[in-house]
Amino acid sequence: MNILFLSTHLNAGGITSYLFTMSKGLIRRGHQVHVATSGGNMEKEFSSIGVKLLTLNIRTKSELDPKIYFALSLLAKYIRENEIDLIHAQTRVTQVMGAWLKKLTGKPFISTCHGFFKTRLSRRVVPCWGDCVIAISTAVEKHLKDDFKVREERVFLIESGIDLEQFSLIDQSARKELRARFDLGNVPVVGIVARLSDVKGQDILVEAMSRIVRDIPDAQLLLVGEGKMERALRENVEHLNLNDHVRFFSIVDKTYEMLSLFDIFAMPSRQEGLGLSIMEAQAAGLPVVASRVGGIPSLIEDGNTGVLVEPENPDELAGAIVKLFGDRARMNTIGMAGREFIKETFSADKMLDKVIYLYQQLAGKNHETDPCC
């Protein structure tokens, strides 16, 4: 099959990681993958595995932005010339584009819902979910059915999978060298890899850090990511006198390398569809402390495959992290249990089996008219 993925950009992040894992697995199974985006810092990685890239001026968060409509004729031409069998959109903007492209080309169109949407009128009036929509967790599946009234037969639960080759157990010798490069030595390190936004809760983690250093004076917090909250976070770090304990890193192409700097991965999200970065940390064998929201409890059995804390509670978060640092054997046990859980439950192969089956079902049907689009 020839599959066209639509996404806003190819910068490092959760959706791009999902696309890379999907693309790599589909190509390995003999399918051709095309990705249309506005480009980004992960383009070389996609090209290296055989993905055909189409770069367009579609970097916007507005479904009314004229630039996405100017791109439609070029995309429709590309779909015809490359004999695309199916269109798969990843964001709200590209869902709108996918709906129009289906009308222009007659090709089946599906989308993946990676998280939670605000119930705006435009989403209700013009849903643009496609012939069907993939929900990445049971929490997202419920959100689609309850909040947007997407018909049950159109929603498919296919939880995101992790490429265990890419996120193997952390190599201790490489970890030692990397830590030396960043002047971390053997100090206790807690970290997070996520965009710097209110929903991810880095501000809660910074507040927790002010309590953690009372018990562990040499502890370090690494905030890996970019986003609109960076200035406010830096100001809070300054206000709490944590400049010697908190470091900021721009988002990186190779998440695995940053994970190897951590002892504990923390994700104090206020909302989370599933938690791809949590899954990557678990796959790397790191113990995870995360908030009990959205799809996160489907990844973490409290005390076994990770530690759950209540959201918006820096004291509980700090206590859980300090307790883990005080028991290295428990940290290792939880880390290994988390990796085994990902291996058995959320492998990339299991995700791909389900997605390809769905593709095959859709490609064999007539999709000339569809009220969902």
Q: What is the DSSP string of 47-97?
A: HHTTPEEEE-S---S-TT-HHHHHTHHHHHHHHHHTT--EEEE-SHHHHHH
Single pTM value for the model: 0.87
Return d(Cα 188, Cα 222) in angstroms, integer: 11
Task: Please give the radius of gyration of the chain, using alpha carbons only, rounded to the nearest integer.
Answer: 21
As a dihedral over the C-alpha atoms of residue 316, residue 321, residue 326, residue 328, rounded to 10 degrees, the angle is: 140
Per-residue pLDDT of the chain (373 residues), as tens digits, is 999 999 999 988 889 999 999 999 999 999 999 999 999 989 999 999 999 999 999 999 888 899 999 999 999 999 999 999 999 999 999 999 999 999 999 999 999 999 998 887 777 777 899 999 999 999 999 999 999 999 999 999 999 999 888 887 787 888 888 898 889 989 999 999 999 999 999 999 999 999 999 999 999 999 999 899 999 999 999 999 999 999 999 866 567 788 999 999 999 999 999 999 999 999 999 999 999 999 999 999 999 999 999 999 999 999 999 999 999 999 999 999 999 999 999 999 999 999 999 999 998 765 544 434 4
Return d(Cα 110, Cα 139) in angstroms, integer: 19
What pLDDT was estimated at residue 173? Answer: 84
Return d(Cα 269, Cα 169) in angstroms, integer: 25
Return d(Cα 53, Cα 50) in angstroms, integer: 9
Handedness of CA 219, 225, 230, 233 (dihedral sign): negative
Structure-token match 């988002």, residue found? 251
Instruction: Report how far apart, in Å, the C-alpha atoms of 181 and of each of 178, 261, 351 are.
Output: 5, 10, 36
Instruction: Report how far apart, in Å, the C-alpha atoms of 249 and of each of 45, 222, 240, 246, 252 are.
Output: 21, 7, 19, 10, 8
Architecture in CATH for domain 2-161+348-363: 3-Layer(aba) Sandwich (3.40)
As a dihedral over the C-alpha atoms of residue 77, residue 74, residue 85, residue 133, rounded to 10 degrees, the angle is: -150
Domain map (residue ranges) of the chain:
2-161+348-363, 172-345
Class of domain 172-345: alpha beta
What pLDDT was estimated at residue 368? Answer: 47
- Using alpha carbons only, give the angle 342, 12, 176 rounded to the nearest 5 degrees: 65
What pLDDT was estimated at residue 369? Answer: 42
